Amino acid sequence: MVRHWYLGVLVGWLALACVAPWCVEAGNRIALERAFAPPAADLWLGSDDLGRSILLRTVAGAAVSAPLAAGVVLVSLCVGTFLGTFGAWRGGWFDACLQRVVELFQAFPGLLLAIALAGILGPGTGNVALALCLVGWVGFARLARAQAASLKSWEHVLVARALGTPEARILLRHILPLLAAPLLVEATFAFAATLAAEAGMSFLGLGAQPPMAAWGSMLREATQFLLVAPHMLIGPGFAILSLVMAMQTAGERLRQRWQLPR
Amino acid sequence: MMRTFQFATRLLATIATLLGVSLMVFLLMQAIPGDPVDAMLGERASGADRMALREALGLEASLPEQLRRYYGGLLTGDWGRSLQTQEPILDLLVARAPGTLMLAGSAVLLALMLALPLGIWSALRPGRLPDHFAGAVALTGGAVPGFILGPVLIMVFAVWLGWAPVGGADTRGSVVLPALTLALGMAAVLSRQLRAALLEVLDEDFMRAARARGLGHAAALWRHGLRNAAIPVLTVLGMQLGALLGGAVITETVFSWPGLGTLTMEAIERRDYPLLQGCVLVISAAWVIVNRLTDLITAWCDPRIDWSG
């Protein structure tokens, strides 16, 4: 049971994300008379500078940060896999261009690129998601390309080709299923990294804007009042940490189970 | 001879990458939505101010002409002026770079100090309690982002214990907390890498031979084990150092550390896009160069490494 703690954490956050929409309004309710209230029996994680319940805001944040990270990973996964597989399959100039672009993106510190891009596009969750997608597809494209390039010469693919199977069918039926495991593991780690990156960008003030409760922007508020109300760190800090660690552990376990190399 | 040739091709490849990176930074600035002058001055600016800025940024010219001026400026050291302070951007960057370098250097040092004992300890007792402990520490250390770890360290060491200042760079000790924030994540990855590399090396024939010749366990580890395990660790260290340069934006912001990261954020907040361009360019170029230097050092450590790839 302890071995699978991460599943509990993931299921827990999934459940909280489902009830999150009902917490948004209550979480935004300002009650200045109880500003900076420390954790108490009727106010579990205390309240912030405007007297808003941190517990409710943390739960509400689950519907902002986690879906955004999931969306970014999904888009990056689809775009990256498509480009990488197609490049490996076709070869030629498309593949050569793709490889140069991937190398160029990898020559950049990804987080810095995303921060600069979001800074230029202007603050907001949409622009943060866009910036993270623009950086995120590269890892998937590289992985998919490398895997597909070696699968291309496997016997079952050669046989399918010799039998005259249409290209699209070979890619979908004979190559993609074999890519699924490594890509899924990569996606799990990418989710953890994207969640942390989104929170970091919100922390810098680039992501969710007030009064929206996102974990990163809650931490930003918490550090502003660190000396007055350190309890403001607990909710959003625990949320980010638990989810990132659970996803990383899940990825590691999947990798071990499917015996994939690092 | 072969080495010189390989070195030359690597150098050319590095220059090509730097060219690509600078081109990307140029294109990044083309992503400003709408009129860049509006974005920088706000919509209430006077017509004369707009014209002056348009002139100063060379926005009237065609794209190829802008690109030519951009590279001309980069090469001649004229990186433009900050919109906010009117100071030359290169001067601002040069003034802030030592801060980031010092932070990064201290972080690497701290990370090695933490990772070496942790990695060796868990490699010597794989699967036992110390190993599990080190693994748990590494998992936590690797997962804690700087914007959580930083404030926690401030609370504990600056506010409660009073051992270090809360932020800024006024005293000698101010570098400790931000460096520790960056180092913990690095140490987590490094110690795991070192453990894996050591476990592999400890199983090699030359280690058994060293023990058979009568070398003690510690001496064999020191003389033969660590040296051979160093290469994968070095590679990871280089990658981490690069990541650190990018991630320093957040850590520097947490601690109000005067470096390139906080300069980047100031540029974003004041919509000083020419300055932002300079910041991104310098940090990315540093990352490219660090990565290439790592390749060079690992190849120098292990002559078997094929260098041309």
Contacts of A223 in chain B (CB under 8 A): 147, 150-151, 254
In whole angstroms, give the CA distance from residue A42 to residue B20.
Answer: 57
The minimum CA-CA distance between A237 and chain B, rounded to whole Å, is 6
A205 in contact with chain B, both atoms CB, cutoff 8 A: yes
Contacts of B245 in chain A (CB under 8 A): 109, 112
Number of independent structural domains in chain A: 1
The minimum CA-CA distance between B290 and chain A, rounded to whole Å, is 11
Contacts of B152 in chain A (CB under 8 A): 233, 237
How many A/B residue pairs have CB atoms within 8 Å? 123
Contact check, Cβ <8 Å, B250/A203: yes
Backbone angles phi, psi at A209, to 5 degrees: -100, 155
Domain boundaries, given as residue ranges, for chain B: 98-301
Of A190 and B3, more confident: A190
Contact check, Cβ <8 Å, A121/B284: no
**pLDDT tens for chain B, residues 1 to 309:** 667 787 788 888 889 889 988 998 888 888 777 777 777 777 777 778 888 877 777 777 788 888 888 898 888 888 888 887 888 999 999 999 999 999 999 999 999 999 988 888 888 887 888 788 888 888 787 778 889 999 999 999 988 888 888 777 777 778 899 999 999 888 888 888 888 888 888 888 888 888 888 887 777 877 787 877 888 888 888 888 877 877 788 999 999 999 999 999 999 988 888 899 999 999 988 888 888 888 888 777 776 766 554
Does the pLDDT of residue A28 top 90, yes or no? Answer: no
Of B29 and A134, more confident: A134
Specify the range with the lowest mean pLDDT, choosing from A64-78, A135-149, B30-44, B261-275.
B30-44
Look up the domain containing A226 and give its range. 65-257
Instruction: Report the candidate in B74, B9, B66 with the shortest Cα–Cα distance to residue B309.
Output: B9
- Tell me which of B250, B263, B281, B282 to substitute to probe the interface with A (most A C-beta atoms closer than 10 Å): B250
A203 in contact with chain B, both atoms CB, cutoff 8 A: yes
A230 in contact with chain B, both atoms CB, cutoff 8 A: yes
Residue A3 lies in a domain: no
Would you state the pLDDT for residue A191? 95
B255 in contact with chain A, both atoms CB, cutoff 8 A: no
Would you state the pLDDT for residue A133? 95
Sign of the dihedral through C-alpha B238, B240, B241, B243: positive
Check: CB of residue A187 under 8 Å from CB of residue A77: yes
B98-301 in CATH: which number?
Answer: 1.10.3720.10
In whole angstroms, give the CA distance from residue B127 to residue B122.
Answer: 8
In whole angstroms, give the CA distance from residue B144 to residue B154.
Answer: 15
In whole angstroms, give the CA distance from residue A180 to residue A171.
Answer: 12
Region A237-243: what's the mean pLDDT?
A: 93
Residue the block writes with tokens 């699209």: A168
In whole angstroms, give the CA distance from residue A253 to residue A247.
Answer: 10
Would you state the pLDDT for residue B307? 53
Would you state the pLDDT for residue A153? 87
Region A49-68: what's the mean pLDDT?
A: 90
- Tell me which of B268, B271, B281, B282 to substitute to probe the interface with A (most A C-beta atoms closer than 10 Å): B268
- CB < 8 Å from A in window 43-72 of B: none
3-state secondary structure B38-58: HHHHCCCCCHHHHHHHHHHHC
Tokens encoding A160: 């399918």
Would you state the pLDDT for residue B178? 93
Region of residue A121 (phi > 0: left; psi between -120 and 50: alpha; otherwise: beta): alpha
* First and final C-alpha spacing in chain A: 26
The minimum CA-CA distance between B30 and chain A, rounded to whole Å, is 9
Contact check, Cβ <8 Å, A122/B243: no
Contacts of B273 in chain A (CB under 8 A): 120
In whole angstroms, give the CA distance from residue B118 to residue B134.
Answer: 6
The chain A residue lying nearest B166, using CA atoms, is A227
CATH number for A205: 1.10.3720.10
Beta bridge partners of A43: A40
Would you state the pLDDT for residue B133? 83
Residue the block writes with tokens 């990855």: B189
Contact check, Cβ <8 Å, A200/B243: no
Residue A262 lies in a domain: no
Contacts of B287 in chain A (CB under 8 A): 107-109
Sign of the dihedral through C-alpha A167, A168, A174, A177: positive
In whole angstroms, give the CA distance from residue B232 to residue B201.
Answer: 11
Would you state the pLDDT for residue A251? 92
The complex's ipTM works out to 0.87
Q: Where are the alpha helices (DSSP H) in B77-128?
A: 89-124
Task: Please name the residues in contact with B294: beta carbons below 8 A apart, sequence gap of 6 or more.
Answer: B234, B235, B237, B238, B239, B241
Region A22-36: what's the mean pLDDT?
A: 85
Check: CB of residue A185 under 8 Å from CB of residue A254: yes
Instruction: Report the candidate in B225, B219, B223, B220 with the shortest Cα–Cα distance to residue B201.
Output: B225
Residue A217 lies in a domain: yes
Tell me which residue in B17, B273, B284 faces A109 most closely, judged by beta carbons: B284
In whole angstroms, give the CA distance from residue A56 to residue B31.
Answer: 37
In whole angstroms, give the CA distance from residue A41 to residue B143.
Answer: 30
Tell me which residue in A108, A110, A122 faces B21 most closely, judged by beta carbons: A108
Q: What pTM was computed for the model?
A: 0.88
Task: Please name the residues in contact with B175: beta carbons below 8 A apart, sequence gap of 6 or more.
Answer: B102, B103, B106, B169, B257
Contacts of A234 in chain B (CB under 8 A): none
Contacts of B143 in chain A (CB under 8 A): 192, 241, 244-245, 248
Read off the pLDDT of residues A220-236 as tens digits, 9 standing for 90 and up.
999 989 888 889 999 99
3-state secondary structure chain A: CHHHHHHHHHHHHHHHHHHHHHCHHHHCCCCHHHCCCCCECCECCCECCCCCEHHHHHHHHHHHHHHHHHHHHHHHHHHHHHHHHHHHHHCHHHHHHHHHHHHHHHCCCHHHHHHHHHHHHCCCHHHHHHHHHHHHHHHHHHHHHHHHHHHCCCHHHHHHHHCCCCHHHHHHHHHHHHHHHHHHHHHHHHHHHHHHHHHHHHHCCCCCCCCCCCHHHHHHHHHHCCCCCHHHHHHHHHHHHHHHHHHHHHHHHHHHHCCCCC
Check: CB of residue A175 under 8 Å from CB of residue A157: yes
The chain A residue lying nearest B142, using CA atoms, is A245
Check: CB of residue A236 under 8 Å from CB of residue A58: yes
CA–centroid distance for B120 within its chain? 25
Contact check, Cβ <8 Å, B143/A216: no
Tokens encoding B65: 């002409």
Instruction: Report the candidate in A187, A218, A189 with the shortest Cα–Cα distance to residue A202.
Output: A218
The minimum CA-CA distance between B211 and chain A, rounded to whole Å, is 31
Tell me which residue in B21, B242, B273 faces A120 most closely, judged by beta carbons: B273
Contact check, Cβ <8 Å, B247/A223: no
H/E segment holding residue B284:
helix B273-301
Would you state the pLDDT for residue B309? 43
Check: CB of residue B233 under 8 Å from CB of residue B123: no
B142 in contact with chain A, both atoms CB, cutoff 8 A: yes
Instruction: Report the candidate in A206, A43, A235, A180 with the shortest Cα–Cα distance to residue B271.
Output: A206
